[in-house]
Amino acid sequence: MSDNTNKPKKEELFSVKNRKLLSNPMGKDNPITVQVLGICSVLAITVQLKTSLVMAISVMAVMAASNVIISLLRNTIPPRIRIIVQLIVVASLVILVDQVLKAFVYDVSRQLSVFVGLIITNCIIMGRLEAFALSNKPWPSFLDGIGNAAGYGAVLLTVGFFRELLGSGTLFGYQVIPNFLYNIGYVNNGFMILPPMALIVVGVIIWIQRYKNPELVDVS
């Protein structure tokens, strides 16, 4: 994947290879369902769609920016302290995101509370820095960051969708289960609000994905 360093240029911006960087993490390279990374945040912030969306966007911003920064610095970073450098870049970006959220979407920032800070420890980000950005040019790194964050976000939103719909009867805070259903005895599933159900929903997604794509079955 990373052999494009000494090749005669000039590659198109959206060559097949670059497009793969975007699309693979959505499917057979998905960070959550295939690589099983970043599960902690999936459990924590998918009770509502809104927090899921904000988390997905925040992670995308941090991941794309840190991938680009690390990729730009990749030839100057001394290998002995590369993890520290990566951490500092990610941590400062996360603090920036946290400050911006506090200033502009305060309610959401309160709901995400500690989980914004925990983006730092999201293993997907460090994983991509280490595996991709350190040995690739900025543009592919940027695409890789966006692609992986999108793959992460897609799972987050799917889980958030089912948990909010079945757990609270709402989507983005608006009631979607009509009142007459409640009148004839429908009850929100309180279990969906609890973290274990996130794990089960992710499990179902993994199941469906592997059922459709048998080549994944042996991967992990």
Partner 1 sequence: MYSNKYIFIYSSVMVLIVALLLSAAAMFLKPMQERNMRIEKMQNILASINITAARGEAEEMFDQYIVETKVVNNKGEEVEGNAFDVNLQDENRKAPEERQLPVFVANVEGDTYYIVPLRGAGLWGAIWGYLSLASDLETIVGANFDHASETPGLGAEISQTAFESQFAGKRIFNEAGVFSPVAVIKGGAPEGDLHGVDAISGGTITSNGVTNMISDGLAVYESYFKNLKSL
The distance of closest approach from Cβ of residue 32 to partner 1 in the complex, given in angstroms and rounded to an integer, is 22
**Residue 33 contacts residue 205 (beta carbons within 8 Å):** yes
Q: Where are the alpha helices (DSSP H) in 78-177?
A: 82-104, 106-112, 114-117, 123-131, 138-168
Q: Write the interaction track for partner 1 spanning residues 33-72; mark x where CB under 8 A is met and - where it is not.
A: ----------------------------------------
From CA 90, how far away is CA 122, in angstroms rounded? 10
User: Please, which residues have CB within 8 angstroms of residue 142's CB and are 6 or more apart in sequence?
Assistant: 64, 67, 68, 71
Which residues have CB under 8 Å from 183's CB, separation 6+?
none
Give the number of other Cβ atoms within 10 Å of residue 9's Cβ.
5
Pick one of 14, 106, 182, 191: the residue that binds partner 1 (CB under 8 A). 106
Minimum gap (Å) between residue 96 Cβ and partner 1 = 6
The closest alpha carbon to 157, from 34, 36, 62, 55, belongs to 55
Q: Are 137 and 71 in contact (CB under 8 A)?
A: yes
Does 78 sit near partner 1 (CB under 8 A)? yes
State the residue for tokens 């946290």: 98
Q: Which is nearer to partner 1, 26 or 91 (CB)?
A: 91
**Interface residue with partner 1, options 72, 84, 181, 219 (CB under 8 A):** 84
**Please, which residue, 84 or 176, has the CB nearer to partner 1?**
84
Q: Considering the rule CB under 8 A, would residue 100 count as an interface residue with partner 1?
A: yes
85 touches partner 1 by CB under 8 A:
yes
Taking CB under 8 A as the criterion, which residues in 180-209 touch partner 1?
A: 194
The alpha carbons of the chain give a radius of gyration, in whole angstroms, of 19
> Contacting partner 1 (CB under 8 A), which of 1, 36, 72, 96?
96
Exactly one of 5, 6, 75, 76 binds partner 1 (CB under 8 A); that residue is: 76
Out of 1, 17, 36, 99, point to the residue binding partner 1 (CB under 8 A).
99
175 beta partners = 170
- CB nearer to partner 1: pick between 26 and 194: 194
Of the candidates 5, 13, 104, 220, which one interacts with partner 1 according to CB under 8 A?
104
Residues 6 or more apart in contact with residue 57 via CB below 8 angstroms? 153
Note the residues at the interface with partner 1 (CB under 8 A): 76-81, 84-85, 88, 92, 95-96, 99-100, 102-104, 106-107, 110, 114, 194
